[in-house]
Amino acid sequence: MTTGWSPAAPLHTARLDLEPLRVDHAGEAAVAFDDVSLHTFTGGQPATAEELRRRYARQVVGHSPDGTEDWLNWMLRVRTSGRLAGTVQATVHRDDAGLVAEVAWVVVTTHQGQGLAGEAARAMAGWLREQGVDRLVAHVHPGHSASGGVARALGLRPTGTVVDGEVRWAG
C-alpha cells in the first residue's frame, strides 16, 4: 500500500523553482543531461528524449506498480535564466519505524559548483519532513565528495552499509 501522498508540489528556493516532473520535460532534459560525465559515479549513459519520455511517463504515475513506494520527482529550474539545472527525487516507503524517503539529486555540469544541489535537496527534505517523513536516506559513491557534502547538509551521516558500491547515508 502506498503512503497515500498526493503528487510532488511546486517548491521554491532563493534561486530555484522545483517543478514537479512532467513528461514534457523530456526534450529539454535530454539536452541538459547529455553529458557522459554525469554518469561517472552512477554508471550508464545519457538518455535520449524518447527514453526520458518513457521513463517520465512511468514516474509521473507517482507510485511503484506494486503500490509499496511513492515517487516524487522535481526538475530544477534556475529562476533568473529559466534554464534546467538538475533534478531531485524521493522514493517514499513505510517501514516498521515510519515513513522513509530515499533521496537523490543531479545537477547538470554547467551548474555544478554553485550550491544548487544542496539548495534544492534542503527544500525537498524540508517539504518531505512537513509531510510526515521520519527519516531520510541517500546512497552516495564514496568518491563523490560533492554529493557527500549535500548529504551532510541534509543532516545525514554515512553508515557502514554499501549497496552497489555506494555508501548508505541516513538521518
Q: Please check whether residue 1 lies inside any domain of the structure.
A: no
Can you give the pLDDT at residue 1? 38
Q: Please check whether residue 2 lies inside any domain of the structure.
A: no
Single-letter amino acid, residue 162? V
* pLDDT per residue as tens digits for the range 82-96: 999 999 999 999 999
Q: Please check whether residue 28 lies inside any domain of the structure.
A: yes
Q: Please check whether residue 5 lies inside any domain of the structure.
A: no
pTM score, whole prediction: 0.93
> How far is 144 from 104, CA to CA, in rounded Å?
13
Query: At 116, which CATH number?
Result: 3.40.630.30
Domain, as residue range, for 107 = 11-170
Residue 4 above 90 pLDDT?
no
* pLDDT per residue as tens digits for the range 13-56: 999 999 999 999 999 999 999 887 787 767 778 899 999 999 99
Structural domains of the chain, count: 1
